[in-house]
Structure 1
Amino acid sequence: MDREWESKAACLGQDPEIWFSQTTWTKARRICRDECPVREECLEAILARESGTPDSLRAGIFAGLTGAQRAKVARRRAPQPTKARTKPAGSGRQLAACGTKAAYDRHVRKKEPIDDACRAANAASGVAYRATGSTKVPASR
């Protein structure tokens, strides 16, 4: 990502403490909102840098937004999960439908948002494992 825009930022040369101290956040937000010509570029850069970061670890003021506000923007921009995912014809196995343990594992592996049905399937799988000590399906008699 080209970072040439940083040389035009209004925060350049400012005391770094104002961006991370809650007592000076008002001043920091004012600088970003009123004076910064590269606010959009800053927002895109910080969202890319913080992707995958838990909301509780997003700190400071960037692009005029607090960590919680940036997390909200990131959630709005995230692609929404679909209920049934399939691969194009001839491309191998079909993906497990949401609401299964396999789909939950896929969401985790691919760092996708986890829907409630998959979360419930994972919980049920954990309960069954703790009860039986096995992940195998019991043989029918």
Structure 2
Amino acid sequence: MTNSINSLPAEKRKMNWRLQGACSTHPEPDIWHATGSTAQSRSDLDEALALCNGCPVREACLDWALTNREAYGLWGGLTEAERRRILRIRIAGGESERRRGGRPLAACGTPSAYDRHVKLGEPIDDACRAAHTRASAEKRARASQQKPTSLEALFKAHTKRLYGGHLAWTGPVKPSFKGRSYNPKQVAFIIDRGREPVGRVLNDCGNSECVLPAHVADEAERHPTATKQLAA
């Protein structure tokens, strides 16, 4: 699988197996990198597979991809997952060496080695499994210790933008700050208005989950006249 090289002379194309691939003259080389489950992606992948199956240099293409551990795209008619399976079998049988060069492989007994074993489908030794368990526990401990220093920090840490200008709450249902529990809309109101809300805080944007401060209001803002009369 190569990119389009139509501009090269015919004699130069004969010098390299890549230049003889069925994909080398295709107007849309991206179909060899089709991903996803949409009908269009599936159609692109089927087209690429059909071209690979009839390609005169399919074996050379696949051999190159396996030798160089090509991680992405369709090569020699095989997907990334299919090539990884072949490599695992070859490595297990001693027919192929583990990848050399680049950064040295992390030693067993480290979280990185555990991740490598999982990615390559290799057996996971006890030392790597223990290292992964320790790293996960330490990560959870660090997260629990990083308590927000203000309601504003709490709000920023647990919100995300939505399409249409809305803001979604991603944190706990009843966030707590300095021993007091709030609901997300109350937090949004307080950090924006600088005061405690009167009555319930609701939004008026049509998205019941939205916590954008500009979209929420308390009883005093929704019914200002009635609130003033009750206060009097």
| TM-score, normalised with respect to structure 1 | 0.51
1:47-69 deviation per Cα after TM superposition (whole angstroms, max 9, x unaligned)? 23336x5xxxx3x2211112211
Q: How many correspondences in the alignment? A: 96
Task: Say if 1:117 and 1:67 are closer, same or farther in 2 by CA, change over 3 A.
Answer: same
How much identity, in percent, do the aligned residues show? 28
Task: Say if 1:40 and 1:118 are closer, same or farther in 2 by CA, change over 3 A.
Answer: farther
What residue is the counterpart of 2:198 in the other structure?
Answer: none
- Structure 1 or 2, whichever has the larger Rg, is 2
From 113, 126, 138, the equivalent of 1:117 is 126
Structure 2 residues without counterparts, runs of 5 or longer = 1-14, 35-40, 95-106, 139-232
1:63 aligns with 2:76: yes
From 40, 47, 67, the equivalent of 2:66 is 47
What residue is the counterpart of 1:32 in the other structure?
Answer: 52
1:72 aligns with 2:88: no
Following superposition, the deviation at residue 28 of structure 1 comes to 0.7
| TM-score, normalised with respect to structure 2 | 0.33
Following superposition, the deviation at residue 123 of structure 1 comes to 4.8
SS at match of 1:78: helix
Whole-Å Cα distance in 2 between the matches of residues 49 and 103 of structure 1? Answer: 24
The one-letter code of the counterpart of 1:38 is V
**Which of 1 and 2 has higher RCO (CA within 8 Å, sep 6+)?**
1
What residue is the counterpart of 2:33 in the other structure?
Answer: 20
The one-letter code of the counterpart of 1:13 is T
Whole-Å Cα distance in 2 between the matches of residues 115 and 18 of structure 1? Answer: 36
Whole-Å Cα distance in 1 between the matches of residues 108 and 45 of structure 2? Answer: 42
Q: Is the 8 A contact 1:32 1:39 kept in 2?
A: yes
Following superposition, the deviation at residue 116 of structure 1 comes to 2.4
1:8 aligns with 2:20: yes
Whole-Å Cα distance in 2 between the matches of residues 32 and 79 of structure 1? Answer: 28
Whole-Å Cα distance in 1 between the matches of residues 125 and 93 of structure 2? Answer: 13
Whole-Å Cα distance in 1 between the matches of residues 68 and 129 of structure 2? Answer: 31
